[in-house]
Amino acid sequence: MKDTKRNYYNQQVADVLKTLNSSQDGLSESQVQESLEKHGKNQLEAKKNTNLLQKFIAQFKNLMIIVLLAAALVSVFVGEGVDAIIILLVVVLNAIFGVFQEARAEQAIDALKELSAPQAHVKRNGKVETIKSEDVVPGDIVLLEAGDIIPADLRLIESAGLKMEESALTGESVPVEKTTAVLTDEKLPIGDQTNMAFMNSNVTYGRGSGVVVETGMHTQVGEIADMINNAEENTTPLQANLNQLSKVLTGLILVVAVIVFIVGMVRGEETVINMLLTAISLAVAAIPEGLPAIVTITLALGTQRMAKRHAIIRKLPAVETLGGTEIIASDKTGTLTQNKMTVEKVFVNNKLHDARDLQIKDYPYNHLFELMVLNNDTKQTEDGLIGDPTETALIQFNLDKHEDVDKLVQSEERVAEVPFDSERKLMSTYNKLADGRYLQTVKGAPDELLQRTTLFESGKEIKSMDEKERKLILDTNHELATQAIRVLGFAYQIVDEIPDTLKSEVVEQDLIFAGLIGMIDPERPEVAQAVEEAKQAGIRPLMITGDHRDTASAIAKRLGIIKEGQDDAVISGSELDTMDDKTFAKKVKQYSVYARVAPEHKVRIVNAWQKQGKVVAMTGDGVNDAPSLKQADIGIAMGITGTEVSKGASDMILADDNFSTIVVAVEEGRKVFANIQKAIQYLLSANLGEVLTLFVMTMMGWQILAPVHILWINLVTDTLPAIALGLEPSEKDVMKQKPRGRQSNFLSGGVASNVIYQGLLEGIITLGVYALAILHPVHASSALAHADALTMAFATLGLIQLFHAFNSKSIHGSIFSATTLKNKFFNWAIVLSFILLAVTIVVPGLNDIFHVTHLDLYQWAIVVGASVSIVVIVEIVKWFQRRAHR
């Protein structure tokens, strides 16, 4: 779309009007109707959304969900209807939750629509009309004044001190001064197209007019909407891991079940129905029915903890994705900075001061602070200060110093002014003094102001401006500019009467220099520490901003994103345009700061890092951030300053707009991943133990555990203990470790080998108990001996998993630590699970239902001793593992 656009900023106004078949008087009614038919309404389009039923059905396309449904079918087949109902309930709840999250995500374009101006003032047939913004067409002449929202993209025709706030679109924190002059550069980023006005921007100062050049989806905001519509839905690392795990498990289940069925039939000792039931038992043993539910519950608990710490999760998988984050590409304005211009430096009496330390009362003979208030158009209301951010910063500084601003404005009333314009970069006012004279106040660019000053103020004295003084002021101005500080100069003179001709060349001469004020959109005080913590955690922070290169570089150095001398780590949007994707991919690791970027640049940056295999988080608050927020592995929007568009496209919202909350969220994400990993190790090793037990029993021709035994063990041991593992506290140094990255999965980091050897241990120990009971029976009767052996195998297989749950509290750490018993929910889960397992054996009647016998103390001692042995063996293996990793 963009390549076919005309560069209207390169053209004279007359040529633009001619191209659009318009004039200074606007379009005729017939032209308006013709344009409406050709271009359509001035509206943003959203891609066609699926209905609720389609969303609901789509939730069942996940392979693990299919495995769960198979488990439910198996449960029904073996007569365990309650278990089937529980599984189906979990599946349906997951589907409902997924539908809810997907519907929330589709609000992004709707929010963009709501941002549009409801009305526009246009000139048609030479008359001014107020129309709905959706009826604006290319060629319309739009009239602008302070407070207006731009209804479409315009080429400006007239600008009288016109300033526009475009931070939501460009990322630049300071309102842009607009002009009507032709811009000669062929390729300019949006923020530098000063003779253009863009849809949804706000007029903060002055007045003007422009001709509509683009409407609807052809505007800059329309392009953003199009990028949101076409952004690919990325599979999160969590979803990829679970899908991979599901495929592996499904394949293993089918292979093992088929082998057992075939072997049993070849032996000819069992009927077809018995062997089918045996194969089903193996399937039940192999399927971790509770895994999706446990993952969901662990993620949900993680979201609750994060919400208490001001991180609001919109999509559950984002919790785990955060833990794998390797790149945080952060928008500057409103995210790393406060999006509020603030006075930081004051140059008065030939000295530079920190604004925080300066007290106005210490300078009774200086006019600087009075000029800051009088040469100012800020309005004070119940809702706060309204006006240009630069001017509101000056008033806020005086208010913070307990100055009576209203009293000063009222006592020295403004009676005349020479408005600001972008050519001379100055503004003058005349304020009436109590003695009948007039105070002329002048503010503006220091270099322009110094050309008009002949004197300077130094305490009680007024001295002649010499070259030494002029150099000191210019050097101070340069020093502050290199620190990304915006500098305003102030001067004045007292006159007996107001000149008849209020022109700059007449009145702005022979001024008295009063001082300099340095302002900046300051970094959030906690961000530098958060950046350092992110680096320690192996995460690389990037700054992406619409601000100029020097400003971006200075802020990045103050935050620690780059160091002094790393200027080659900064790149501008125009430089990025000169690189093709292949070249950029080779150089992407070089850059940490991106200045003067457009929305498509942000998406390109995210894509480049993702192609490097990195897990990318993108933070932002503006409309321009929405496409990249959606493209990133995890999009993070600001809750306070963020637009509804950015929130709708995000996975997570920072309720306090605090960058350091991201670091907190990453820590929580790492904990969630680790806890899910612990649960998976526990579940898979337990299920492998069950499969091995059943497989060997079948191969040996022994009386095997029935489906009801496996289902009960799974119900008792796979739910509460596994969920409790999801509540484990963070292990020490979790934020000192490198990110696990996109290539890792739940079976990495030694988990796969642990699952195998621990599962084999469980199976071997259980089979050993069964063999011991057969070889040394308590009862002489062969039938009773086999019944006791089966009961002891059943008890051992269940109890060994409960003891193994303690092993799973840490992948490599010892259970003999101070934190082992801190998780009270885990402790109670083990106790309850043990009771549920034991009652099937010791309670009369229940043991008949489960086809088990009562065990005496000797038999219980064997069961408990064998079950405890897994703790001893695993602890020894962990000790060797820790020594090997030193």
Tally Cβ neighbours within 10 Å of residue 630.
Answer: 26
For 486, the enclosing helix (H) or strand (E) is strand 486-495
Contact (Cβ atoms closer than 8 angstroms) between residue 376 and residue 441: no
Q: pLDDT class for 273, splitting at 50, 70, 90?
A: low
CA dihedral 799, 801, 804, 809 (to 10 degrees): -120
In single-letter form, the type of residue at position 773 comes to: A
Of the candidates 172, 131, 524, 123, the one whose C-alpha atom is nearest the C-alpha of residue 335 is 524
In single-letter form, the type of residue at position 154 comes to: L
Tally Cβ neighbours within 10 Å of residue 185.
Answer: 12
Residue 70 has pLDDT above 70, yes or no: no
Q: For the residues 302-330, what does the mean pLDDT come to?
A: 82
- Which neighbouring-strand residues pair with 442? 428, 491
When mean pLDDT is compared across 421-425, 583-587, 787-791, 839-843, the lowest value belongs to: 421-425
Residue 281 sits at φ, ψ, to 5 deg, of -60, -40
Beta strands 652-654; 311-313: pairing state = antiparallel
Q: Which residues of 751-778 are buried (b: 16+ CB within 10 A; e: fewer)?
A: beebbeebbebbbebbbebbeebbeeee
Q: For the residues 761-777, what does the mean pLDDT come to?
A: 92
Q: Is 540 helix (H, G, I), strand (E, B) or coil?
A: strand
CA atoms within 13 A on the CB side of 581: 10
% of the chain residues with pLDDT over 70: 84
Of the candidates 548, 573, 578, 622, the one whose C-alpha atom is nearest the C-alpha of residue 189 is 573
Of the candidates 99, 274, 348, 218, the one whose C-alpha atom is nearest the C-alpha of residue 697 is 274
When mean pLDDT is compared across 264-278, 826-840, 841-855, the lowest value belongs to: 264-278
The residue behind tokens 């706060």 is 384
Using CA atoms, how far residue 380 sits from 175, 391, 725, in Å, is 19, 12, 55
Contact (Cβ atoms closer than 8 angstroms) between residue 341 and residue 561: no
pLDDT, residue 864, reads: 94
* Active-site option among 83, 148, 153, 331: 331
Residue 685 has pLDDT above 80, yes or no: yes
pLDDT, greater one: 823 or 767:
767
Q: Is 678 helix (H, G, I), strand (E, B) or coil?
A: helix
pLDDT tens readout for residues 389-400: 899 999 999 999
pLDDT, residue 1, reads: 39
Taking the C-alpha atoms of residue 847 and residue 790, their distance in angstroms, rounded to an integer, is 12
pLDDT, residue 538, reads: 92
Q: Is 867 helix (H, G, I), strand (E, B) or coil?
A: helix
Residue 131 has pLDDT above 50, yes or no: yes
Q: For the residues 293-313, what does the mean pLDDT come to?
A: 78
Q: For the residues 735-741, what does the mean pLDDT come to?
A: 82
Question: What percentage of the chain's residues is helix, strand, coil (to nearest 5)?
Answer: 50, 15, 30
pLDDT, residue 112, reads: 41
Of the candidates 376, 293, 339, the one whose C-alpha atom is nearest the C-alpha of residue 93 is 293
Residue 196 has pLDDT above 50, yes or no: yes
pLDDT, residue 407, reads: 92
Q: For the residues 170-188, what does the mean pLDDT come to?
A: 81
SS (H, E, C) 363-429: CCCCCHHHHHHHCCCCEEECCEEECCHHHHHHHHHHHHCCCCHHHHHHHCCEEEEEEEECCCCEEEE
Q: For the residues 7-19, what does the mean pLDDT come to?
A: 91
pLDDT, residue 277, reads: 63
Taking the C-alpha atoms of residue 437 and residue 435, their distance in angstroms, rounded to an integer, is 6
Residue 163 has pLDDT above 70, yes or no: yes
How many Å from the N-terminal Cα to the C-terminal Cα in the chain?
56
pLDDT, greater one: 18 or 252:
18
Residue 103 has pLDDT above 70, yes or no: no
Best mean pLDDT range from 40-49, 253-262, 359-368, 819-828:
359-368
Residue 656 sits at φ, ψ, to 5 deg, of -105, 10
What is the total residue count of the chain? 886
Q: What angle do the packed helices 751-775 and 857-884 form, to 10 degrees?
A: 150
Sequence-distant (≥ 6) Cβ neighbours of residue 542 within 8 angstroms:
327, 328, 329, 330, 561, 591, 592, 593, 594, 605
Sequence-distant (≥ 6) Cβ neighbours of residue 476 within 8 angstroms:
347, 352, 516
Taking the C-alpha atoms of residue 354 and residue 480, their distance in angstroms, rounded to an integer, is 12
Q: For the residues 333-339, what does the mean pLDDT come to?
A: 78
Residue 79 has pLDDT above 70, yes or no: no
Residue 562 has pLDDT above 90, yes or no: yes
Q: For the residues 809-826, what does the mean pLDDT come to?
A: 80
Q: pLDDT class for 429, splitting at 50, 70, 90?
A: very high
Sequence-distant (≥ 6) Cβ neighbours of residue 155 within 8 angstroms:
8, 9, 11, 13, 16, 195, 196, 210, 211, 213
Of the candidates 625, 653, 546, the one whose C-alpha atom is nearest the C-alpha of residue 112 is 625
Q: For the residues 788-792, what does the mean pLDDT come to?
A: 90
User: Model-level pTM?
Assistant: 0.68
Range list of β-strands (E), 710-786: none
- Which neighbouring-strand residues pair with 414? 431
pLDDT, residue 346, reads: 96
% of the chain residues with pLDDT over 90: 34
Mean residue pLDDT of the chain comes to: 83
pLDDT, residue 87, reads: 59
User: Which stretches of 778-856 are DSSP H helices?
Assistant: 782-807, 824-842, 846-849
For 616, the enclosing helix (H) or strand (E) is strand 616-620
pLDDT, residue 290, reads: 62
Question: What are 299's two structure tokens?
Answer: 């993620």
Q: pLDDT class for 336, splitting at 50, 70, 90?
A: confident
Q: For the residues 225-235, what does the mean pLDDT come to?
A: 63
Residue 654 has pLDDT above 80, yes or no: yes
Contact (Cβ atoms closer than 8 angstroms) between residue 298 and residue 583: no
Taking the C-alpha atoms of residue 372 and residue 517, their distance in angstroms, rounded to an integer, is 9
For the chain, how many helices (H) and strands (E)?
Answer: 33, 26
Of the candidates 243, 298, 287, 253, the one whose C-alpha atom is nearest the C-alpha of residue 68 is 287
For 240, the enclosing helix (H) or strand (E) is helix 237-267
185 is catalytic: no
Q: pLDDT class for 309, splitting at 50, 70, 90?
A: confident
